[in-house]
Structure 1
Amino acid sequence: MSFDAILFSALFLLVTVSITVGISKKLGVGSVLGLLIAGIIVGPYSPGPVLTDQVESLRHFAEIGVVLLLFLIGLEMRPGKLWTMRREVFGLGSLQIVFSGIVIGAYAYWSMPMSAGVAMLIGLTLALSSTAFVIQILQERGEIASRYGTASFAVLLMQDLAVIPLLAITPLFSEGGVLPDDIPVWEEVLFVAGMIAGVVAVGKYIVPYLLSRFARDRNREAFVFTVMLSVVFAVWAMEHAGLSMALGAFLMGMTLSDSRYRIQIEANIEPYKGILMSLFFVAVGMSLDLNIVMEHPWTIARHVFVIMLIKILVVFLLALTFGFSRSNAFRMSFLLSQSGEFGFVLFGAARVLGVIGDEIFAVGIAVISITMLLTPFCVKLGEMIAAKAPAGRDLIGEIPDEDNFAPVVIAGFGRVGQVVANMLELSQIPYMAYDSDHDLVLRERKKGKSVYYGDMSDPALLSAIGLGKARLVIVTVDSPLHAVRVVSHIKDIYPGLNVFARAKDVDTKHLLIKYGATWAIPEALEASLLMGSETLLAMDIDKTTVDALLDALRKDDYKLLVPEE
């Protein structure tokens, strides 16, 4: 490809993505749908200019974005927190795969000519959901730490583990019908265990030592490359062991979760993750063969509808069985209704081994791509149904005793929340705080702080603690989207309650006020004003003059500080 062709392809892709993502965000269905549609437009199966014919290679390269996403999630998931999710991971996750796989397999056996074994393999493959889509949507909505968000992630984690045995048994359904026996099973198990131990050892001892040295030398480039090297090493080790690349990245992230450089690691990785994740969704859109869809429109539409319906019903019933409220069960079931990116891998392996033919492969890829395409609409529909369902007693947290209820409630007990709490304590004003970080809650409670575990974006928790009795709620959570959800739910249930909120910037402040916040402060601008005022005072400028300047700068919603668009 010539340099001019590369420039044109880049220009064509960026223009297309800008338009489709802008429209999809405007319609309120998130950026993922826009990226998928952009992929369809620039793909080889659509009329007009084509970005590349090497769709599979592009998708493999862009999977690095999924890997980095799982690495960042691992950084937030300390081993102790993962252990508390074992019931959802091994219980709910395993049952979802088994029951969805059996029912979808039965449908595949009935609808297409194939053996029962191959149908079951296809059923288990389509039972897996998309880690990339689900996590991206949860992050965009600020619900990754919610009750249904953590449970959905637990199911996805079990599905990532399930890829290993599914790939291992695929050769059983080929004409030979036997597994390769050149390496004894015990040696394979030992090799896998050794690779996992190697990743943990590198992440626990070698990487922290290198990061410490480079941070001390202020060598930012070496710091960033060491982080990337740790991720690539974990991915290589897991891929070499026959495991999921995403699982290796998650394991490395979790191993580094106790590092004092965790925040800096996140800041360095986030930009690369965002770009590559977007490219991955574009590549998935490019995989959709419109010719196959046009040749068998009703057949593929039936497959998509039945498979998504089966997954919704199975997850919904299992969620209820595991004690989730109906509202969260609806959210989970619609969120996990699509088939996942590992389906591309499993169907590809099955075609190479002769387990399935080209027609079944093409239909399978089309079904997976279309279910991904429909995911934003399914999530929207699930949210609408969940809003009408009773919340029940499915709480994301603890309920304080009646005697411990305080007039001031703090949502989020990070840096800002702790400062506010200290000021209240010094003024002898009782408060109670909620945070979804289990380790932080335990640590602060040992210090005598009145802090409880819970996510205040959950309407069930707000009702259960009787939030209406409070005089004031202070929202200090980091994520702007999470803050908006907290404020919105509080004002929906208790419209007369005063809510003060922390905002990242003026735009976030306007959004919080729009959703009902009584008062919001853009912390970045206020910190800048404080720095500027102290600078002027140090230069012997009169305090009255400085105060007058601050008042002028704050006037009309910081108009003088915010550049006009």
Structure 2
Amino acid sequence: MPLMINGDPLLSTVVLLSAGVAGLAVARYARISPIVGFFILGAIIGPDLLGLIDRHTQTIHFLGELGVSFLLFDIGLHLSLRELRREWRRFFLAGFFQFLAVASVLSLLIHLLGVAAPSAMVLGAILSLSSTALVLKILSDEREDSSPAGKRATEVLVFQDITAILLLVLLTGDLSKGISFDALGEPLLKMLLAAGSVILIGRLALKPLFGLLLSIKSDEVITAFALLLVFLASWGTQSLGLSLALGAFLGGLALSESSYSYLVRAEVAPFRSLLLSLFFLSVGINLSLPAIIDNLWLLAALLAAFSAAKVAANWIAFRAAGIERGLGTLLAFLLAQGSEFAFVLLAAGFSAGIIDSYSLNLGVSLVGLSLAVTPFLAAIGCFSSRSVCHVSHEKNAEADDAREVIIVRIDEFGRQLASLLEAERIPYRAHDNDLQRLAYAKSRGLNVFYSDIHRPRTLGRVSLGKALAVVSLHEEEHIIHPLIEGLQKIDRTLPVIAATESPARLELYTSLGLEHVFIKNEASIPAMFEALLRSLGFQESRIEESLSRALQLLQPEGLYPQVGSKIAAEAAA
């Protein structure tokens, strides 16, 4: 007999947390994504195997929805209203093209399978959406959430989440009169009211409130208030008949321009990680194993067709939106799954009489399986994006006359620094002679070029006066000597900053006359970024703002994020 989660909450909580720990262990032992481990353990403890948790229990779905809400709150914290106003065309084009292309292709394929046109259109629109929770978790695990690929994926996913809310409003409304202003007008007005209210309150009330709370000097008060913000914003939109996730996103967006956004993100990070784990477990619990086994070959064929169609349509849409080929290929595979919102939308379509029970069960199974295979698709996308990516050589960059920061060697440390420069719109270019490192960085959308120290493209740009500063990340001593000495011969006033993995090479850089030399680790990135900004002549207020944003992007995600945050803050002090 299944153990109902509301029958014995304590025992059910033990089961869920135990499944989470076991999921991580299985993933580590099998060398697969932790997300897949959560799916597997969710299916095991679900009603079709051990029967420990009932899939119809509302509590686990509510906790999973809270996890998605905390995730969207974090997304809102990372977005900037100022940047959205400036880049709204790019934000709208990529998201709209992706939704239009994928929904059209999937609707056509579903209609060709014999489904009526109205139902096919609704199913195509629902299945065109991608999983915000899953994709951003993968990007975070790979430390790509602040890279150009991470930012583009986030933009598309936020557009999709807004689209999902509109679809839910449509499907839960009165469709007897068709799609009209009467059906959508009131919910749209509610969305605008909620957005305006949350952002206005965030601008006017939160700053003095945070000032008051910080004067109390209690970590517990800050944590409690950060959680209150998420729950209050979510409750506000839910009370208007909208989704929890919309309120959480708006709450994060309201705080995004605040100097306290970094502090709030550190406080809610552990709760977000825990609740997201419960969401992934709930996906596994909702997988109907008998239905999957009975329709195994059909589902396998549908999953292959669905994934291929979505990858192809994604790629076409992203290229049409002006995204370069390597980055577009990575995003096409990364966004090739169904959405967590699809479970709610499919149920709403069934209740509205648009989707029949067979399509509902098949759709739920298909979306669940697509979520399970996403880590493997992401790996394929990573490999494919490197393969199609043509690294630009020296002759391809001659037309660019802008002065820029030059990064010599694009390893992981260099990629993080380049992402920070991207975020601050500081022109840069990275040079390397390792094709594997170049292809990997290029597939992430970074501005990289091939350069050989024996034919030093770097020194050529310096001699033409096109370098604002040079950052050397080289580890080979036979390259460090001619590079630094060559730079000093050309222009002794040029800022040169270096970082290395070895204390011995740190002494070498120092002996060559460099003032700013760092050991490569997570804590030194903010300090190096600050030194670079000062060498570029930035004003103190701009440096503080840029460093605050950099610390948000470099927020350590681990068991103790607050501790990591303090280390990073101390390194930048």
* Cα deviations by residue, 1:283-320 (Å, 9 ceiling, x for unpaired): 11111001111121122222211111111001112222
Structure 1 position 458 matched with structure 2 position 441: yes
Task: Pick closer, same or farther for the CA change 1:83–1:413 going to 2, 3 Å.
Answer: farther
Give identity over the alignment, percent. 25
Moved more, 31-40 or 399-408: 399-408
Moved more, 400-409 or 116-125: 400-409
Counterpart contact for 2:222–2:267, Cα < 8 Å = no
Please name the residue that 1:271 is paired with.
270
Deviation at 1:325, TM superposition (A): 3.3
| Amino acid paired to 1:310 | A
Task: Pick closer, same or farther for the CA change 1:296–1:410 going to 2, 3 Å.
Answer: closer
Please name the residue that 1:248 is paired with.
247
Deviation at 1:12, TM superposition (A): 4.2
Counterpart contact for 1:326–1:392, Cα < 8 Å = no
Counterpart contact for 1:39–1:282, Cα < 8 Å = yes
Deviation at 1:106, TM superposition (A): 1.7
3-state secondary structure, aligned to 1:101: helix
Please name the residue that 1:37 is paired with.
40
Please name the residue that 1:194 is paired with.
193
* Cα deviations by residue, 1:487-528 (Å, 9 ceiling, x for unpaired): 8xx99xx9986683589xxxxxxxxxxxxxx9646859xx9x
Task: Pick closer, same or farther for the CA change 1:104–1:519 going to 2, 3 Å.
Answer: same
| Amino acid paired to 1:34 | G
Structure 2: any 5+ residue segments left out of the alignment?
Answer: 432-437, 460-471, 481-497, 503-517, 528-573
Please name the residue that 2:148 is paired with.
147
Provide the C-alpha distance between the structure 1 equivalents of 2:177 and 2:307, rounded to a whole number of angstroms: 31
* Cα deviations by residue, 1:368-402 (Å, 9 ceiling, x for unpaired): 100000100111111122222224569xx999859
| Amino acid paired to 2:344 | V
Please name the residue that 2:103 is paired with.
101
Structure 1 position 370 matched with structure 2 position 373: no
Structure 1 position 120 matched with structure 2 position 118: no
Provide the C-alpha distance between the structure 2 equivalents of 1:92 and 1:458, rounded to a whole number of angstroms: 21
* Cα deviations by residue, 1:382-439 (Å, 9 ceiling, x for unpaired): 1122222224569xx999859867687899999xx9xxxxxxxxxxxxxxx7453556
Provide the C-alpha distance between the structure 1 equivalents of 2:450 and 2:347, rounded to a whole number of angstroms: 51
| Amino acid paired to 1:17 | G
Task: Pick closer, same or farther for the CA change 1:453–1:144 going to 2, 3 Å.
Answer: farther
* Cα deviations by residue, 1:470-497 (Å, 9 ceiling, x for unpaired): 999xxxxxxxxxxxxx98xx99xx9986
Task: Pick closer, same or farther for the CA change 1:244–1:83 going to 2, 3 Å.
Answer: farther
Structure 1 position 133 matched with structure 2 position 118: no
Structure 1 position 20 matched with structure 2 position 23: yes
Please name the residue that 2:230 is paired with.
231
Please name the residue that 1:514 is paired with.
none
Please name the residue that 2:72 is paired with.
70
Please name the residue that 1:164 is paired with.
165
Task: Pick closer, same or farther for the CA change 1:441–1:97 going to 2, 3 Å.
Answer: closer
3-state secondary structure, aligned to 2:205: helix
Please name the residue that 1:482 is paired with.
none
Counterpart contact for 2:16–2:278, Cα < 8 Å = no
Task: Pick closer, same or farther for the CA change 1:495–1:171 going to 2, 3 Å.
Answer: farther
Provide the C-alpha distance between the structure 2 equivalents of 1:165 and 1:229, rounded to a whole number of angstroms: 26
What TM-score results when the alignment is normalised by the length of structure 1? Answer: 0.71
Provide the C-alpha distance between the structure 1 equivalents of 2:392 and 2:137, rounded to a whole number of angstroms: 27
Provide the C-alpha distance between the structure 2 equivalents of 1:3 and 1:362, rounded to a whole number of angstroms: 25
Provide the C-alpha distance between the structure 1 equivalents of 2:82 and 2:411, rounded to a whole number of angstroms: 23
Counterpart contact for 2:234–2:245, Cα < 8 Å = yes
3-state secondary structure, aligned to 1:436: helix
Counterpart contact for 1:200–1:255, Cα < 8 Å = yes
| Amino acid paired to 1:328 | L
Please name the residue that 1:537 is paired with.
none
Deviation at 1:177, TM superposition (A): 5.3
Counterpart contact for 1:163–1:243, Cα < 8 Å = no
Please name the residue that 1:427 is paired with.
none
| Equivalent residue in structure 2 for 1:48, among 44, 47, 50 | 50
| Amino acid paired to 1:122 | L
Counterpart contact for 1:148–1:328, Cα < 8 Å = yes
Structure 1 position 349 matched with structure 2 position 348: yes
Task: Pick closer, same or farther for the CA change 1:347–1:184 going to 2, 3 Å.
Answer: closer
Task: Pick closer, same or farther for the CA change 1:178–1:327 going to 2, 3 Å.
Answer: closer
Task: Pick closer, same or farther for the CA change 1:100–1:55 going to 2, 3 Å.
Answer: farther
3-state secondary structure, aligned to 1:464: strand
Give the number of equivalent residue pairs: 463
What TM-score results when the alignment is normalised by the length of structure 2? Answer: 0.70
| Amino acid paired to 1:118 | S
| Amino acid paired to 1:332 | L
| Amino acid paired to 1:464 | F
Deviation at 1:216, TM superposition (A): 1.0
Counterpart contact for 2:237–2:247, Cα < 8 Å = yes
Task: Pick closer, same or farther for the CA change 1:107–1:149 going to 2, 3 Å.
Answer: same
Counterpart contact for 2:20–2:278, Cα < 8 Å = no
Please name the residue that 2:81 is paired with.
79
Provide the C-alpha distance between the structure 2 equivalents of 1:10 and 1:124, rounded to a whole number of angstroms: 35
Provide the C-alpha distance between the structure 1 equivalents of 2:345 and 2:15, rounded to a whole number of angstroms: 32
| Amino acid paired to 1:39 | G
Moved more, 79-88 or 270-279: 79-88
Provide the C-alpha distance between the structure 2 equivalents of 1:407 and 1:84, rounded to a whole number of angstroms: 27
Provide the C-alpha distance between the structure 2 equivalents of 1:292 and 1:239, rounded to a whole number of angstroms: 33
Structure 1: any 5+ residue segments left out of the alignment?
Answer: 418-432, 443-450, 473-485, 504-517, 528-565
Provide the C-alpha distance between the structure 1 equivalents of 2:250 and 2:124, rounded to a whole number of angstroms: 28
* Cα deviations by residue, 1:410-469 (Å, 9 ceiling, x for unpaired): 99999xx9xxxxxxxxxxxxxxx7453556456xxxxxxxx7489997247464274854
| Amino acid paired to 1:436 | L
Task: Pick closer, same or farther for the CA change 1:366–1:88 going to 2, 3 Å.
Answer: farther
